[in-house]
Amino acid sequence: MDRLNWNKRVKEFAPRSGAFLQSFEWGEFQASIGRRVERILVEDSRGVMLAQAVLLDLPLGQSYWQVSKGPLGNMPMPAMIRELAERLPVGSFVRVEPELAPKKTWKVKDVQPSVTSILDLTVGKEAIAAGMKPKTRYNIRLADKKGVTVRATAEPVIEDLDRLLEQTAVRDRFSLHPLLYYARMLEVMKGGEAVASLAFADYDGRPLAANVTIDFNGQRTYLHGASSNLHRNVMAPYALHQYLIDEAIDAGMTSYDFWGVAPVGASKKHSWAGITQFKLGFGGEIVVAPGTFDVPTNMIVYSLYRGSKLVQKMIKLMKRG
């Protein structure tokens, strides 16, 4: 199926968050970094099922299929799961993120966020500003007063992004993709209907914050963010999000997905507590999806995989103890 028709079906059954992961352009990006991509469309008396699957490597020459924020469609979930298991060759299991929790599967740690905050852009700029927390509005005004400026780059300065990502990863203790991953995303997803963009917030001639966003189906998703250890008092990330929200409204988009917050009621010690407080300051609605599930297609290999994960978890707990 060609790009336009595939994206048309994705939009028809799009989830509230993360539809871009099933877009044709996202699949082309994944293929550009050497991954095998399969697109499946089944339409019969049971309904419609479509899924874009990416083959990922496991140790010892094994592999599995990842269907991020899918499968999509109106076919009964058990039938969708059976179709995927039968139609995706090679892999030892299929990892899915459907809108309804499937039965007879293994619930695993989220790959993509299952809880996020989505800002309704159709209410307009004034209503959005009124819905922000007072401290967020204050920090946006402070960034403007301090002289923070924002630039969207037609030709991404990937070295600046890399430098900011490295600082953020060390500070917030998370792992990064290789630099090629971000560079290829911005290169491959330039046109079409799913578009990746990079924007910076600058202060005193120096980039202090960067956001990678993806626009698809009327939704702008804040996919990756990074900020400098310097001049944190000028609140550059606030200015950057304000700019991106306003720009999305001006472009006629309908929602802004902050792409992941801590679950409602999570402890203040949750690893996402700080970023969640930042994101929720802009307002928005908490949207919850079932999460990530594994569908074994080779039970022997999958049992070994699960066992190795359990051993790794036990080792980490022993080290902490």
For 212-250, how does the pLDDT look when each residue is reduced to its tens digit (9 = 90+)? Answer: 999 999 999 999 999 999 999 999 999 999 999 999 999
Residue 92 has pLDDT above 70, yes or no: yes
The pLDDT assigned to 175 comes to 86
pLDDT in tens, 185-201: 999 999 899 999 999 99
Weakest mean pLDDT among 99-113, 127-141, 251-265, 304-318: 304-318
% of the chain surpassing 90 pLDDT:
86
The pLDDT assigned to 154 comes to 66
Cα 86 from Cα 68, distance rounded (Å): 18
> Per this entry, what is the length of the chain?
321
Residue 280's CB: how many other CB atoms inside 10 A? Answer: 17
pLDDT band at 173 (very low <50, low <70, confident <90, very high): confident
Average pLDDT of the segment spanning 264-276: 91
Cα 98 from Cα 70, distance rounded (Å): 5
The pLDDT assigned to 319 comes to 66
% of the chain surpassing 70 pLDDT:
97
The pLDDT assigned to 80 comes to 97
pLDDT band at 308 (very low <50, low <70, confident <90, very high): confident
Task: Give residue 112's Cα distance to chain centre.
Answer: 6
Residue 168 has pLDDT above 70, yes or no: yes
Domains, the chain = 3-111+290-320 (3.40.630.30), 115-288 (3.40.630.30)
Cα 145 from Cα 156, distance rounded (Å): 27
Residue 117 has pLDDT above 90, yes or no: yes
Q: What is the chain's mean pLDDT, rounded?
A: 94
ω into residue 71 within 30 of 0, thus cis? yes
Residue 71 carries which side chain, given as an amino acid letter? Answer: P
The pLDDT assigned to 283 comes to 97
Cα 155 from Cα 300, distance rounded (Å): 48
Burial level of 159, CB count in 10 A (0-12/13-18/19+)?
Answer: exposed
